[in-house]
Amino acid sequence: GESVGLHLPTLSVQEGDNSIINCAYSNSASDYFIWYKQESGKGPQFIIDIRSNMDKRQGQRVTVLLNKTVKHLSLQIAATQPGDSAVYFCAEGEGGKLIFGQGTELSVKP
């Protein structure tokens, strides 16, 4: 029979622009959040994490924002490059395990 793939939200940006990928999490008791990047044929790659006692954390070209009031997490990528094209997953830490969101596909146009 026909197989149905996961319909990921897609974000398309121009090279050099900033990208913002959003994520809503479900468990108000989660105290750890993390972003991963997954390229085709590879495992998820750690980008940046944040604990619940913070609302912002910056890395190299990336910033994670956490809004616990509305249970929202975002990943900002500055000066997006073609190599940033991938699927991005947020995950929340719950009792030692990471629960992943469905992912967003980022497409960077040169």
Q: Does 29 bind another protein (CB under 8 A)?
A: no
CB of 15 to another protein, least distance (A): 27
Indicate the Cα dihedral angle 92, 98, 101, 106, nearest 10°: 90
Q: Does 98 bind another protein (CB under 8 A)?
A: yes
Beta strands in the chain (DSSP E): 10-14, 19-24, 32-38, 45-51, 56-58, 62-67, 72-77, 86-94, 97-100, 104-109
Three-state DSSP state, 84: helix
Number of residues that bind another protein (CB under 8 A): 27
CB of 21 to another protein, least distance (A): 15
Three-state DSSP state, 110: coil
Q: Does 89 bind another protein (CB under 8 A)?
A: yes
CB of 96 to another protein, least distance (A): 4
**Of 10, 45, 67, 81, the one binding another protein by CB under 8 A:** 45
Pairing status of strand 56-58 against strand 45-51: unpaired
Q: Does 4 bind another protein (CB under 8 A)?
A: yes
Contact set with another protein (CB under 8 A): 3-6, 31-32, 34, 36, 41-46, 49, 51, 89, 93, 95-103
